[in-house]
Amino acid sequence: MNVSTAAAGGACVALLSTFSDGAIAQSDYPNRPVRIIVPFPPGGSTDPVARLVAHKLGERWNDATVVVDNRPGGNTLIGTQIVAKATPDGYTMGYCGASTFSTPSLIQHIPYNVLTDFVGVTAIAKSRIVLVVHPSVPAQNLKELIALAKSKPGELNYGSSGIGTNTHLSAELFTRITGTKLLHVPYKGSGPLTNDLLGGRVNLSFQVSITQIPNINSKKVRPIAITGEGRIKALPHVPTFDEAGLPGYGLKGWTCLLAPTGTPMNVRTKVANTWAEIIKSPDMEALMEKQGLESYALPPDETTALIKESVASYGKVITDSNIVWKP
């Protein structure tokens, strides 16, 4: 479990004993169903983790009802707007990640402001991006793949889970750093992309590791490198980009719970404290590692700050690469 001492300590701060007028007492929350909006269709890389979070929170809250509500569409705009317009009482939260961070720079006139209409609740997990190629691609390592791409500019294609997703932005960052040119083939999610990757219609892809661990282990795709500071237990044989010769490459991949601005701090703190306790379980840590994820916990204010940082870093890649999303 990779949670800094400061973060873990912040996430487990003592519960407040007094609240402002109208605030919900922690002991009373939740006293009705809590809804977690996932702005993606069921079955993607985000959905199973969100459902795990909902299950574990409900368990800790004396079998309270915590449900996942999938609201896909509009490059996550539909589901995220529902959260923005929800009553700020802690009973509607959003499960968000890279797509939420990228939309402010990617899409003009979105129906909410990520930086002002939401507040952080808690970080959930760190994810890694793994670069995989179809076995027909002759490159065996990162150096060979870069050389191959440079020898055939624009001929190798890569699939992403959609324009502006971390799978897309990771590829754009890669091409800028390495001076390569790849053909982008966007899909509506990781499922259809993976089908074409396995079928050889896509040469390579930068994918969230959870989606490709089974395919890597069955040798249906060849792993080249993975983002992050160290190797992961689920893929111990896959080198990091630093080890493979591309130091400093990668965007922060992480997910969190957010809520509409105005949601009481004491309620958000209770959610954050509960999650921080959940991830201390060895079983939970092992489950996350098996999926190529790292347990993560931050208190509300630090989560809000990291959302702002991620909006800026994702926005820079979008601006530098002149990425435009068209519905």
Q: Which residue has the tokens 């980009």?
A: 241
Q: Which CATH architecture has domain 5-127+253-321?
A: 3-Layer(aba) Sandwich (3.40)
118: burial class by Cβ within 10 Å (0-12, 13-18, 19+)?
Answer: buried
Token pair 């402010």: residue: 104
What is the full per-residue pLDDT of the chain (327 aa) written as tens digits? 444 434 444 444 433 333 333 455 667 899 999 999 999 878 767 788 899 999 999 999 999 999 999 998 887 899 999 999 999 999 999 999 888 888 889 888 899 999 999 999 999 998 899 999 999 999 999 999 999 999 999 999 999 988 888 899 999 999 999 999 999 999 877 888 999 999 999 999 999 888 899 999 999 999 999 998 899 989 999 999 999 999 989 888 899 999 999 999 999 999 999 999 999 988 888 888 877 788 889 999 999 999 999 999 989 999 988 887 766
Rounded Cα gap, residues 283 and 56, in angstroms: 12
Yes or no: say if 261 and 108 are a contact pair by the CB < 8 Å rule. no
Confirm if 201 and 136 have CB atoms less than 8 A apart.
Answer: no
In the chain, CATH 3.40.190.150 covers 5-127+253-321
Question: For the CA atoms of 207, 210, 216, 217, what is the dihedral angle to 10 degrees?
Answer: 180
Residue 131 token pair? 């670069």
Which residues of the chain form CATH 3.40.190.10? 129-244
* The model scores a pTM over 0.85: no
Q: Is residue 258 classed as helix, strand or coil in its secondary structure?
A: strand
Strand 254-260 to strand 204-208: parallel, antiparallel, or no bridges (unpaired)?
unpaired
Superfamily of domain 129-244 in CATH is Periplasmic binding protein-like II (3.40.190.10)
Check the CA dihedral 197-202-203-205 and report its sign.
negative
